[in-house]
Structure 1
Amino acid sequence: MDYVFKNQREKISIVKGKGYYNNVPFGDEISERSLFYDEIIRELSFDFNQCIIRLNQCSRNFIKDTDGCNVLYLSDTDGGYPRKGVAVKTNNEIKEYPNLRYVDLMINEKNIKQGKLSIFSHEIGHVMMENIWPNFPVGNSVKPHASMAVTDYFLAFYEGFGEHFQRLVYDNVDYYNKLQREQEGFRDDITKLWHSKIDKDLRLNAVLNNQYIHKNLLPSLDTSSMELQELIVLEHLSPIFDKIKLKNAQEMLSCEGVIATLFYRINTNKDIQYNYACRDFYNNFLIDKIPEDTDIRDIFNPFENVILKNFYVWSKLKGKINDDSIIFIDFIEEWLKCFPEDREELIKIFISTTIGKTITNKLAKLYEEAAYYGLIGDMKNYLECCNSYNAFLDSLCEQAIEGKINLRQNIGDEFWITNKDFKMKPWMYIEEEFPLRVNVNTASIYELCTFKQIPYNLAVQLVKKRDEQGHLNRDEIINIIGKEI
């Protein structure tokens, strides 16, 4: 018996978009006799994709909203999106599912052969989150989201969860690894310069190597004739990382690449995966209760187990979050309450990944020194820094595990200000512009320079002091800017 699906044949429906019906996307189910259908189903039948579809159904079972099967909607809208509400035509009958959340992808006979369906798990990750947390908070940032960019806590959390699946796909599906290698020939070098290609490569490799914690560097260009808007976009989307300079705590927790790395490390951690909860916990995600003589491990594998923990923590968080919340810290703290058996591993992952930045600047200074000596090949000083770093890291983790220090004690407050006189496009291809809104504790020098009361030299001073301390408080900002925020 399958405790997740009512009907095995209704795991997922492939729908070709035709337009709109009663204001929701509408389409026909693709014929199961078509070669295109076979190609899609072949990829969705990979073990990892089957696992993801199964987890999505668990999220639907959890909220007791199981009307209609899971849907992959094929549209002409470039990219991938989580959607809500669809009408499907099957055997000349139209059925409407106004509350169904599903994945919308632009998949066709050509791009499916290029591995386009590998993004499916990313988008269904968003669907899972929206199933559990339908009114997920909207953040303050108006800047474009990208894995390397710094925006706000909420956008980074939402996108970071989706992005960590892209690394997981390549860990678990050999087919996509093979396609990736085949596309890395010398003839394709120029295609690697396109923004979304750069971003995709980072999501695969920078997540694995924890690169996003480093400061972004502005590319080497003549900036003298550039407009501020162009400079901000260039710096915001730069894929170049400074190996010897770390982001501050607020920048890290507002960067979806850092959050993706944290999700990846948590959800692949074997100790956390193999810490199973009590039987009643899993019954929340099933259509029937598990019999007492059935081993839970026969129902959910270790990866499914850890993702279900994510779901449960979200469900506990959604009524507690407000505009001032530091959502990833809240997520960690709620997890520790729900699953105390994961405490040691979870705290170690968080502190080591963020180099203790949310607690103190001291560990980061040792890290940056080691990075410098490692860069120039100074073995003696490098090893001394490494030894000091590892000892201090162990001490921080031990104190946090024992509850002697707080994970958020060095984060500081956000200070969001809007510049009504300076507007930005959320994306280059969108004509509409919005007033720039920045957090003073994460804003770049060029973003600060958009404010009339902050000349370049003052912006440099502000960022320098912020980097030295980890964050600025309201009085310090007022003293430097000379104006209330």
Structure 2
Amino acid sequence: MKIARNKRFLKLSFLLSLMFITGLMASGIAGAGQLVTSLAPQYQDVPFKAENAFFSAAPMMDPKDGKKPLMIEVTDKYEKLEVPMPKGFKISAFEGGAGAAEIISYLKNSPEMTDSAKLRVIARMKKLALIIKSGDQARGEFYKKQVSAPLVLFVNLNMGTGPACAPVPMHLDLKDGGKFFFNTAIFIEDIPEAFSVTDAIKNDTFDFVVAHENAHGIMFDMYGPAITKIEKKSNLGHDGPVVSDRGLAFIEGWAEAFEALYGPTNPLLKLKESEREQYRISEFLFTRQDPVRRDRYIWQNYKGQKTGVLKNGVQILSTEGAIAGLFYDMLTSKAIKDPFGKAISVMCLHHPLDFAQFVKAWVKEFSEDKKVLYRIFLEGTNYATVSNEARKLYYDYYQAKLKYVQKQMDEKTFYTVKAKWTTYKESLFAEIMKSDNLTTNVSPDLWVEVKGFKTLSLQGLLSKVLGMKRPYLNMASVTAGQIKQIQELGLLKNFADEDIQQFVKTREQMGVMPYKTGTEAIREILGKDKANKVIKENNITDVK
């Protein structure tokens, strides 16, 4: 049977599955250093062969209509527990597009990528143990076959996704007449002007990219259909420092943590930014290393002149780089026994919807880690999610430290400021250990949609035809920079710079916003007359 190559139809057919794709980048490298499976030492001797870990495939063509891929309907009750959608594709082995043989060979010989693939097996073994423990023996028998399943790779099929991972059901016909079920596919292809597979192989960062996507696959394995419950309302793009939303930051933060875990094995990622282009290393692969390991994405300005101004609570929980840093700290903590296994168990058993819920579920499941987890979370965020006063005191301490180092402040004054910060945060820690509330300084989400024009207008009709984005903004977390970027697209007219600054400044002083909707927040902060004009002219509506 032929392989599906009708790109237009395939793109449309994959639309549903791509709704759940959380693609984009990772970083990688083959080199020295202890690898991530050291996080799961009890599983070091699992049967694993790199040559069987990757399976290059593609959708097959429908014999009744050579222009369409052969679709499948998921009817098996256990298969349904592994995927968020009822329809998928019948696949067949496919050597892949241009350069596929080199890509597969590279992955099989990469210590980092084979380590990542092994972690996927370890995660499935943990899930199998939990299924058996639950008493569902029949499901356990089904899942045993999934544990060592290879990673399905769609190599250079030109789907327009870039590197990505999608939880799409697939069936592969077997020689004995049966079929094998797969629950995810990893897409491997370039992103024009942003990422080149060929360059990534040459500079040995490509394995980080696929390991990032495989980390998504691990999460998809643990969540099954529940992955759709994680809300991802932001539609303005995402990256390490970008404020998006809590769900997207949670999903991407998990994957980016593995970039930081593998990153130190590649000496090229320790070069200066000015040397990066010489080796044709993609910018996002290069920059999402040190800031994650050092928890720098919690700052409003993590590049250039450091100020010590922290993001607010919602912003931190909605910044994937900040969440990646917290995942990294937890997974590498020597004070936690089997952190990877516990993280997987929490995802499998509780399906948390954001990072705060993840920590809460971990403490519920493994109470012995409570003190360590709270310390990692609170120190990693400088207590910004529990106190607005903490944000102010940390800023004072940071500024004092800069002056002290530059010999612009005497030692006694500096240590007085430091003691005030230290005393306050320790009192907060003791309080949180009792209350278990890690989000007392986190506002509720206040989403609005900026339609920018009436649907019945010519622009409105064109937007429907062309699929033009209508920005979703969380007024509890949107930055002044994001508002200005939207204005450059011709939206958010008459939202003057001074109004933007007033809104952001007032919001930051509040800590927790006392409003029920985004439009209410705009009206109360800017004044009803001015706000109503902005809301009406830009067709801003609340989003539930």
Normalised by the length of structure 2, the TM-score is: 0.65
Q: Is the 8 A contact 2:50 2:114 kept in 1?
A: no
**1:411 partner letter:** V
**2:333 partner letter:** N
Is 2:316 the partner of 1:252?
yes
Is 2:338 the partner of 1:338?
no
User: Taking structure 1 as reference, are residues 396 and 462 closer, same or farther at Cα in structure 2, changes over 3 Å only?
Assistant: same
User: Taking structure 1 as reference, are residues 314 and 245 closer, same or farther at Cα in structure 2, changes over 3 Å only?
Assistant: same
Return the alpha-carbon distance in structure 1 between the equivalents of residues 435 and 510 of structure 2: 22
SS in 2 for 1:207: helix
- What do the CA deviations read for 1:191-223 (whole angstroms, capped 9, x no partner)? 56xxxx332223211011211011148xxxxxx
SS in 2 for 1:472: coil
Structure 2 counterpart of 1:437: 472
Return the alpha-carbon distance in structure 1 between the equivalents of residues 278 and 497 of structure 2: 37
State the identity as a percent.
20
Structure 2 counterpart of 1:298: none
Picking from 159, 164, 176, the partner of 2:257 is 164
Is 2:490 the partner of 1:410?
no
Structure 2 counterpart of 1:308: 341
User: Taking structure 1 as reference, are residues 156 and 111 closer, same or farther at Cα in structure 2, changes over 3 Å only?
Assistant: closer
Structure 1 counterpart of 2:497: 456
Structure 2 counterpart of 1:294: none
Return the alpha-carbon distance in structure 2 between the equivalents of residues 338 and 204 of structure 1: 30
User: Taking structure 1 as reference, are residues 333 and 36 closer, same or farther at Cα in structure 2, changes over 3 Å only?
Assistant: closer
Which segment is superposed worse, 462-471 or 97-106? 97-106
Return the alpha-carbon distance in structure 2 between the equivalents of residues 139 and 45 of structure 1: 29
Return the alpha-carbon distance in structure 1 between the equivalents of residues 46 and 278 of structure 2: 48
Picking from 1, 16, 28, the partner of 2:93 is 28
Is 2:40 the partner of 1:40?
no
Structure 2 counterpart of 1:85: 169
Identify unmatched segments of 5+ residues in structure 1: 218-238, 275-304, 322-326, 424-430
SS in 2 for 1:408: coil
User: Taking structure 1 as reference, are residues 10 and 50 closer, same or farther at Cα in structure 2, changes over 3 Å only?
Assistant: closer
Is 2:133 the partner of 1:57?
no
- What do the CA deviations read for 1:87-145 (whole angstroms, capped 9, x no partner)? 5588x899754542243334977743432112232111111111111232232111101
Structure 2 counterpart of 1:114: 203
Structure 2 counterpart of 1:392: 424
Picking from 188, 192, 211, the partner of 1:105 is 188
Return the alpha-carbon distance in structure 1 between the equivalents of residues 524 and 112 of structure 2: 60
Q: Is the 8 A contact 2:449 2:472 kept in 1?
A: yes
Structure 1 counterpart of 2:285: 200
Q: Once superposed, what is the RMSD of the aligned Cα atoms?
A: 3.7
**1:81 partner letter:** A
SS in 1 for 2:307: strand
- What do the CA deviations read for 1:332-386 (whole angstroms, capped 9, x no partner)? 1111111110011011111111111111112221211222233342343443322
Is 2:394 the partner of 1:364?
no
Structure 2 counterpart of 1:226: none
Q: Is the 8 A contact 2:57 2:93 kept in 1?
A: yes
Aligned residues: 407
Which segment is superposed worse, 43-52 or 453-462? 43-52
Q: Is the 8 A contact 1:18 1:26 kept in 2?
A: yes
Superposed, 1:157-306 pairs within 5 Å as 157-171=250-264, 174=265, 177-180=266-269, 186=275, 188=277, 191=280, 197-216=282-301, 242-272=306-336, 274=337, 305-306=338-339
Structure 1 counterpart of 2:151: 71
**2:523 partner letter:** I
Q: Is the 8 A contact 2:57 2:152 kept in 1?
A: no
Q: Is the 8 A contact 2:173 2:180 kept in 1?
A: no
User: Taking structure 1 as reference, are residues 340 and 6 closer, same or farther at Cα in structure 2, changes over 3 Å only?
Assistant: closer
Q: Is the 8 A contact 1:418 1:436 kept in 2?
A: yes
**2:255 partner letter:** G
Q: Is the 8 A contact 1:4 1:58 kept in 2?
A: no
User: Taking structure 1 as reference, are residues 344 and 7 closer, same or farther at Cα in structure 2, changes over 3 Å only?
Assistant: closer
Structure 2 counterpart of 1:480: 525
Return the alpha-carbon distance in structure 2 between the equivalents of residues 209 and 10 of structure 1: 32
SS in 2 for 1:212: helix
- What do the CA deviations read for 1:293-327 (whole angstroms, capped 9, x no partner)? xxxxxxxxxxxx21221122223333x75xxxxx2
How far residue 390 of structure 1 moved from its aligned partner, in angstroms, is: 2.0
Q: Is the 8 A contact 2:330 2:373 kept in 1?
A: yes
User: Taking structure 1 as reference, are residues 43 and 25 closer, same or farther at Cα in structure 2, changes over 3 Å only?
Assistant: farther
Return the alpha-carbon distance in structure 2 between the equivalents of residues 109 and 478 of structure 1: 51
User: Taking structure 1 as reference, are residues 59 and 251 closer, same or farther at Cα in structure 2, changes over 3 Å only?
Assistant: same
Return the alpha-carbon distance in structure 1 between the equivalents of residues 213 and 399 of structure 2: 39
**1:253 partner letter:** L
How far residue 47 of structure 1 moved from its aligned partner, in angstroms, is: 7.3
Return the alpha-carbon distance in structure 1 between the equivalents of residues 341 and 254 of structure 2: 14
Return the alpha-carbon distance in structure 2 between the equivalents of residues 348 and 422 of structure 1: 47
**1:40 partner letter:** L
- What do the CA deviations read for 1:424-474 (whole angstroms, capped 9, x no partner)? xxxxxxx74211111111112352875457433222111101112223221
Structure 2 counterpart of 1:467: 508
Q: Is the 8 A contact 2:291 2:297 kept in 1?
A: yes
SS in 1 for 2:445: coil
Structure 2 counterpart of 1:15: 55
Return the alpha-carbon distance in structure 2 between the equivalents of residues 155 and 46 of structure 1: 24
User: Taking structure 1 as reference, are residues 463 and 344 closer, same or farther at Cα in structure 2, changes over 3 Å only?
Assistant: same
User: Taking structure 1 as reference, are residues 94 and 184 closer, same or farther at Cα in structure 2, changes over 3 Å only?
Assistant: farther
**1:479 partner letter:** E
How far residue 257 of structure 1 moved from its aligned partner, in angstroms, is: 0.6
Structure 2 counterpart of 1:283: none
SS in 2 for 1:421: coil
User: Taking structure 1 as reference, are residues 25 and 463 closer, same or farther at Cα in structure 2, changes over 3 Å only?
Assistant: farther
**2:151 partner letter:** V
How far residue 185 of structure 1 moved from its aligned partner, in angstroms, is: 8.1
Identify the structure with the greater strand proportion. 1
Which segment is superposed worse, 372-381 or 4-13? 4-13
Structure 2 counterpart of 1:447: 483
Structure 2 counterpart of 1:129: 219
